Amino acid sequence: MKPSWHGERTFAASTEMQRRLHEVVPGGAHTYARGSDQYPEDMAPVIARGEGAHVQDVDGNWFVEYGMGLRSVTLGHAYAPVVDAVVEAARTGVSFSRPSVYELRAAEEFLAQVPGADMVKFAKNGSDVTTAAVKLARAGTGRDLVALCRSQPFFSTDDWFIGSTEMDAGIPDAQRRLAVTFDYNDLGSVESLLQRHPGQIACLILEAGTATSEPEPGFLEGLRTLADRDGFVLVFDEIITGMRWSKGGAQEVYGTTPDLSTWGKALGNGFAVSALAGRRELMELGGLGTDAARAFLLSTTHGPETTGLAAYLAVAEAYRQRDVVSVMERQGRRLADGANAAASALGIADHFAVVGRPSCQVFVTRDHLGRPSQEFRTLFLQDMLDRGVLGQSFVISAAHTDDDVDRTVEAVGEALTVYAKALDAGSCAGLLRGRPVAPALRRYAVPRKIPGSPTA
């Protein structure tokens, strides 16, 4: 079906469905980043289908989509070779009482893809494998403290990390005290941490690079040296960077090998599969090849389920057939260049910008005083939705065509014309049609209208 981009958009069916979601699902979504509070009021589409870089909502509206399943989709929605591989696997059975052939195939494929890893174990989501990495580090070092990069927003849904966030209700104080923090690109902050907690830090965990932050020369290499000297386990969170930075992850791009790395998102092009990989002597603490006390490591019913592993194998094959990362980077650059040129032409480049690694870009929204602004972010999201573009970011996929990018740049130019008016007025009043969006991870829900609620 060819998408229709023209005509007035209504969100009536989505708003009613969102109202029902709030009645039956806490927060109205299964991921906080997907919540209706992350979108303009009464403009939170409920998706009915996706094709390539496009999605259609329950009202029949088609959108060029960015964000791509919270960065998990690099090949495009409903990518046929992956779907076909999953269907074939499902027809042969999805779960058995012994390992399936898919477990060996996927493990061999992954270890060829990530040469610094000796062993791998699969699971279903990123939080599980990241928590498993922390457990292995504690088992291998006999230490308790976990050092987190304080400027990076998310590592796991489990207590060891959530206790360090604003949403720490329900987390025991004892867990909170086991997390310490350091600064990205600041070896001095790590060395200071080691001095304050000598022989106590089990692992240091970070994303080697982020959408907006590249490692400075010597930073990652310095962490590797400190890990070897002090004895803590160096863990790279590759949940986002794996298969977006390169097939071999950020560790391949930056040339530093961690002790353990955790993978997810793009591994299955949206299908549920994640991975923990690393050095044999650590990984075997959860296996049968150790004389030490064993760590209970990712013993899950659904981790080896065949369809997720089949999805990964099909994704790996797609990356062999073409340079998927290069396609994303090329299209991402075209989008950023076009959007930033539109902002410059309006004289508002200091207030709006597309920034970051081309395969994983975000947009920055600032108010008339140059401050980061949720209100101005919401105005931009609102006007982009009106013009058929859906996305909390400009995270792209290899399915985005030149036409998709050109259509998006055109929409950005039109939306920024409205944005410029708000900047001139010093406010979004009269232009923004509802309440502003809010940070996904925050301590209090803050009373707000739930879309479609008659009692709001």
- How many domains does one find in the chain? 2
| 6 in a structural domain | no
24 shares a domain with 144: no
pLDDT in tens, 29-60: 998 889 888 999 999 999 999 999 999 999 99
CA dihedral 303, 309, 312, 317 (to 10 degrees): 160
Burial tier of 262 (Cβ tally within 10 Å: 0-12, 13-18, 19+): buried
| 13 in a structural domain | no
406 shares a domain with 330: yes
311 shares a domain with 171: yes
Report the distance separating Cα 94 and Cα 125, nearest Å: 17
* DSSP run (H or E) holding 249: helix 249-254
pLDDT at 444: 74
Residue ending a domain, among 321, 338, 367, is 321
| 67 in a structural domain | yes
174 shares a domain with 293: yes
CA-based max dimension of the chain: 70
Instruction: Evaluate if residue 277 carries a pLDDT over 70.
Output: yes
330 shares a domain with 186: no
Report percent pLDDT > 70 for the chain.
96
391 shares a domain with 307: no
| 307 in a structural domain | yes
| 236 in a structural domain | yes
251 shares a domain with 213: yes
**Quick check: 29 and 35 in contact, CB under 8 A?**
yes
**Quick check: 79 and 318 in contact, CB under 8 A?**
yes
Burial tier of 456 (Cβ tally within 10 Å: 0-12, 13-18, 19+): exposed
Mean pLDDT, rounded, for 139-152: 96
pLDDT in tens, 287-315: 998 888 889 999 999 999 999 999 999 99
* Closest to 46 (Cα-Cα) out of 10, 82, 77: 10
Distance from first CA to last CA of the chain, Å, rounded? 38
87 shares a domain with 66: no
Report the distance separating Cα 227 and Cα 288, nearest Å: 26
256 shares a domain with 201: yes
| 371 in a structural domain | yes
pLDDT band at 345 (very low <50, low <70, confident <90, very high): very high
pLDDT at 157: 87
276 shares a domain with 257: yes
420 shares a domain with 342: yes
In sequence order, the β-bridge partners of residue 276 are: 121, 262
**Pairing mode of beta strands 62-65, 389-390:** parallel
Range of the domain at 315: 80-321
- Side chain identity, residue 444: Y
330 shares a domain with 317: no
pLDDT in tens, 62-87: 999 999 999 999 999 999 999 999 99
Instruction: Evaluate if residue 179 carries a pLDDT over 50.
Output: yes
Residue ending a domain, among 293, 321, 349, is 321
pLDDT in tens, 422-446: 999 999 999 999 898 877 777 777 6
Q: For 300-381, where are the E strands, in sequence order?
A: 352-355, 362-365
pLDDT at 6: 54
Instruction: Evaluate if residue 451 carries a pLDDT over 60.
Output: no
| 438 in a structural domain | no
CATH number for the domain harbouring residue 392: 3.90.1150.10
* DSSP run (H or E) holding 233: strand 233-238
Report the distance separating Cα 130 and Cα 150, nearest Å: 16
CATH number for the domain harbouring residue 220: 3.40.640.10
| 128 in a structural domain | yes
